[in-house]
C-alpha cells in the first residue's frame, strides 16, 4: 500500500474509532480502561498525533465491539470529506415497546426489564448507522455488504451485549471478546449469561455445549425503511431484530456436529429446545417464516 493511501487509511481508522466512541457514549477514560491502554494514548490517537501499533489498534477495536480487520476494511473505503446531503439520511431507528413479551420471565432469569433490551437494540442500530453514514457519504457499500454474514452476526452480537451492559444500571458488564460467558454479573440478581446470534430462522450455535442461561437474538436484513421480504434473494443491507429469547439450556439441549468444511465442531441449540425458550421480544414485521393465523410461528409463546 503506497504511503499516501496508508496515511489516509490510518486517518479514517482513527476517525471511525472516535465516531463510534462518541456514539457509544464512552469517555476517553472509559475506552482506555476497556481497551487496556493509557487514557493519554486515546487522546493522542483521536487528535491524530500518534499512530497506533497493531496491538493497540486491535485492543481498541475489540473494546468497541468490532474486529480490527472489519474496521480497517471500512477505513479503506471511507472518505473523510463531509457530504451534507447525507447528514439526515439515516434517521434513528427505535424498537417498539409493544414488541416486549413475557417480561416477568426476563426479570426472573436475568434481573432486567424489557426496556434494557429496547435500549440495547437501539444502541446497536445507532453504532452501525454511524458507520454506515460515513460509508454512504463516500458512495461505498455499507457494513452489512462489506463483511461476511458470520462476521456481521458476531459484530452485531458484540454491540447488543455492550448495549445490555450499558443499559443494565450496573448489573452486567461485557466480558472480553471470545470469552465465556458474554455477560458477567456485577451484583444480584444478575447471573452469568451467554449471548447467541442467528440470521433469519437459523438456530443459534456455538463451538461447545455449555449449560447456563442464554439470551438468543435473531435478525433479518431488510432495507433502510424497515421493509422486509422473505428469501435469501431478497436480503437487504440493514439489520432488524425480529426475535429475542431467554432461558436456561443444559448441555444435552445442544446438537453436536463436526461436518467437513464447517468451522470446526459446532453446538447448535436443538429446535424443540429453542422453540420452547420464552419469547421476550418479537417484531412480526420481520418474521422470516411463513406466518400462521394470528402471526404466530414455531417458537411463538
* Per-residue pLDDT tens digits for 167-205: 999 999 999 877 899 999 999 999 999 999 999 999 999
Residue 253 per-residue DSSP state: G
Mean pLDDT computed over every residue of the chain:
87
Would you list the DSSP string of 100-160? B--HHHHHHHHS--HHHHHHHHHHHHHHHHHHHHHHHHTT---HHHHS-HHHHHHHHHHHH
Indicate the pairing of strand 183-185 with strand 172-174. Answer: antiparallel
pLDDT digits (tens, 9 = 90+) for 218-271: 999 999 889 999 999 999 999 999 999 999 999 999 998 765 555 557 899 999
| Residue-wise pLDDT tens digits, 66-103 | 888 878 877 776 644 443 333 334 467 889 999 999 99
For residue 267, give the nearest of 215, 207, 211 by alpha carbon.
207
Q: 133: which residues sit within 8 A by CB, 6+ positions away?
A: 86, 87, 89, 90
The pairing of beta strand 212-222 with beta strand 205-206: unpaired
Q: What's the whole-model pTM score?
A: 0.75
For 205, the enclosing helix (H) or strand (E) is: strand 205-206
- To the question of domain 1-80 being in CATH 1.10.540.10, the answer is no
Place of cell 413475557: 102
Q: Taking phi first (over 0 means left), then psi (-120 to 50 degrees means alpha), and beta for anything else, what does residue 170 get?
A: left
Q: How far apart are CA 24 and CA 35, in angstroms?
A: 14
The x, y and z cell numbers of residue 115, run together, are: 426496556
Share of the chain above pLDDT 70, in %: 90
Confidence of residue 283 (pLDDT cuts 50, 70, 90): very high
At residue 78, the pLDDT reads: 62
Options 3.20.20.70, 3.40.600.10, 3.50.30.30, 3.30.540.10; CATH for 85-295 is 3.40.600.10
Domain residue spans of the chain: 1-80, 85-295
Amino acid at each position: 500500500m503506497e504511503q499516501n493511501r496508508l496515511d489516509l487509511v490510518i486517518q479514517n481508522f482513527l476517525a471511525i474509532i472516535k465516531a463510534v466512541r462518541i456514539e457509544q457514549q464512552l469517555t476517553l477514560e472509559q475506552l482506555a480502561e476497556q481497551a487496556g491502554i493509557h487514557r493519554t494514548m486515546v487522546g493522542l490517537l483521536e487528535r491524530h498525533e500518534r499512530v497506533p501499533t497493531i496491538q493497540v489498534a486491535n485492543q481498541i477495536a475489540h473494546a468497541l465491539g468490532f474486529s480490527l480487520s472489519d474496521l480497517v476494511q471500512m477505513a479503506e473505503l471511507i472518505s473523510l470529506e463531509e457530504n451534507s446531503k447525507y447528514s439526515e439520511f439515516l434517521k434513528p431507528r427505535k424498537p417498539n415497546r409493544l414488541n416486549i413479551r413475557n417480561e416477568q420471565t426476563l426479570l426472573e432469569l436475568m434481573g432486567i426489564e424489557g426496556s434494557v433490551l429496547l435500549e440495547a437494540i437501539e444502541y446497536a442500530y445507532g453504532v452501525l448507522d454511524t458507520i454506515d453514514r460515513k460509508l454512504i457519504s463516500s458512495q461505498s457499500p455499507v457494513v452489512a455488504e462489506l463483511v461476511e454474514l458470520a462476521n456481521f452476526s458476531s459484530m452485531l452480537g458484540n454491540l447488543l451485549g455492550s448495549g445490555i451492559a450499558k443499559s443494565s444500571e450496573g448489573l452486567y458488564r461485557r466480558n472480553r471478546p471470545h470469552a465465556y460467558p458474554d455477560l458477567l454479573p456485577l451484583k444480584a440478581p444478575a447471573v452469568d449469561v451467554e449471548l447467541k446470534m442467528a440470521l433469519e430462522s437459523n438456530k443459534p450455535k456455538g463451538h461447545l455445549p455449555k449449560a447456563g442461561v442464554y439470551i438468543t437474538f435473531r435478525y433479518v436484513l431488510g432495507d433502510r425503511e424497515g421493509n422486509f421480504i422473505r428469501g435469501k434473494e431478497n436480503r437487504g443491507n440493514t439489520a432488524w431484530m425480529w426475535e429475542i429469547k431467554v432461558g436456561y439450556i443444559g448441555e444435552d439441549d445442544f446438537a453436536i456436529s463436526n461436518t467437513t468444511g464447517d468451522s470446526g465442531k459446532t453446538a447448535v441449540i436443538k429446535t424443540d429446545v429453542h422453540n420452547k425458550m420464552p419469547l421476550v421480544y418479537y417484531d412480526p414485521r420481520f418474521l422470516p417464516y411463513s406466518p400462521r393465523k394470528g402471526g404466530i410461528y414455531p417458537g411463538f409463546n
